[in-house]
Structure 1
Amino acid sequence: MKYIKTKRLILRDWKESDIPKFIRLNGDKDVRRYFPNVATPEESKEFVLSAQSDIDARGFGLFAVERRDTNEFIGFTGIQVWEEEGPLKLHFLPTIEIGWRFAKQHWNQGFATEAALGVVKFVERNTDIKEIYAYASSINYPSINIMLKLGMEKVQTFEHPLIMEGHSLKTQVVYKTDVKKRHRFRL
């Protein structure tokens, strides 16, 4: 099923054929440079199954993204629900988080921003969600730049409890946006 179309992208359900491509994407050290490690094939497959389960249950989630011109799977973008339980004890939980990850050959072409803007418009038009949060390592400038392009504002810095002391990824930043405010962006 197709959920969101933008000028160049389709955000849709996951397909079985996406899994090997997603495993390769998550095994790329450059793609995972702002994570403590690369993902195993099992972790990538579990991610896909969990993402599709959320989409089936809620009508939204972390969608597979494909290019409209080539029908090629290039990554994911979407939103997920963060509950209070779990290792992240942040003041704004439970909440909705927006996220993205793309194969390296599709970087620096505006795909992540375009897809994320499509998700924000989808949320605005199809849900009663009022706020969306995003978080990333404080040194993950590419993701922070996308957050800023979405009109998000920084609300918190925290030390990630699952990352060891002294690691360059330990300090994380949290941004948020009010979905119901009209965005100055157009798809």
Structure 2
Amino acid sequence: MAEAMILEGLRLRLRPWQGADWVPLAAINSDPVAMRHFAAPLSRAESDAWGARMQAHIATHGWGFWAVELLATPGCIGAVGLMHIPWQVPGRASQVPAVEIGWRIAPAQQRQGLAEEAARLALAAGFGPIGLAEILAFTVPANVPSWRLMEKLGMRRIGGFEHPRLPEGHRLRPHLLYRLRREEYVPE
């Protein structure tokens, strides 16, 4: 068990998960707008299982996809952070588990720069105290806001791949792959 990191920005905090987070997380994970670039919205049980995996990753490593809350009004509005990718990233020869950065913000809080603020906190932790050499990100080509944020964060598109957890022919199987290396990272 590692000491859980808490990251704080100007408007928000990234923190470990709490029991009260499961209801708002389930609302986000079941929302068709929030989940439009995923295979399907999640049921309550699936959302709870996803949250438990995020919680376990933080308990093991001290970092992961944290619960996001606004400083002004506490309560979970999303999940942002860093996670070990549980499958081999196509075209990546390293046996070291790759780490991704990702974000999922409630639709009511989108387009306010919150995902960017939270992602910048996660990158600073990843290349700072966590000590990562690189961070990956991926999304479907149609998720323009997400890949534009990746580029705004300084990540470079390094190709694409077929997501191994989606069946062949699935409309969301093609993904774009982005990377940021520690030596390329420019903190804000």
Structure 1 gaps, min length 5? none
Alpha-carbon distance, 1:33 to partner: 0.3
The one-letter code matched in structure 1 to 2:25 is F
Q: Tell me what 1:126 maps to.
A: 129
CA contact (8 A) 2:64 2:83 kept: yes
CA spacing shift, 1:89–1:78, aligned 2, 3 Å:
closer
CA contact (8 A) 1:95 1:133 kept: yes
Matched, 1:66 2:72: no
Distance 2:129 2:43 in 1: 34
Q: Tell me what 1:29 maps to.
A: 32
Q: Tell me what 2:90 maps to.
A: 90
Equivalent of 2:174, from 166, 171, 175? 171
CA contact (8 A) 2:5 2:63 kept: no
Structure 2 gaps, min length 5? none
Q: Tell me what 1:41 maps to.
A: 44
Q: Tell me what 1:19 maps to.
A: 22
Equivalent of 2:146, from 139, 143, 148? 143
Q: Deviations over 1:40-76 (max 9, x none)?
A: 1111101111111111111111100000111131101
Distance 1:53 1:163 in 2: 24
Q: Tell me what 2:160 maps to.
A: 157
Alpha-carbon distance, 1:166 to partner: 4.3
Q: Deviations over 1:65-94 (max 9, x none)?
A: 0001111311010101124xx4x5512263
The one-letter code matched in structure 2 to 1:90 is P
The one-letter code matched in structure 1 to 2:172 is L
> What is the TM-score with the length of structure 1 in the denominator?
0.91
Distance 1:52 1:120 in 2: 19
Distance 2:89 2:99 in 1: 15
**Cα RMSD (Å):** 1.7
CA contact (8 A) 1:65 1:76 kept: yes
Matches within 5 A, 1:79-118: 79-83=82-86, 86=87, 89-92=89-92, 94-118=97-121
The count of residues paired between Structure 1 and Structure 2 equals 182
Q: Which runs of 4+ in 1 moved over 4 A?
A: none
The one-letter code matched in structure 2 to 1:61 is G
The one-letter code matched in structure 1 to 2:109 is H
Q: Tell me what 2:58 maps to.
A: 55
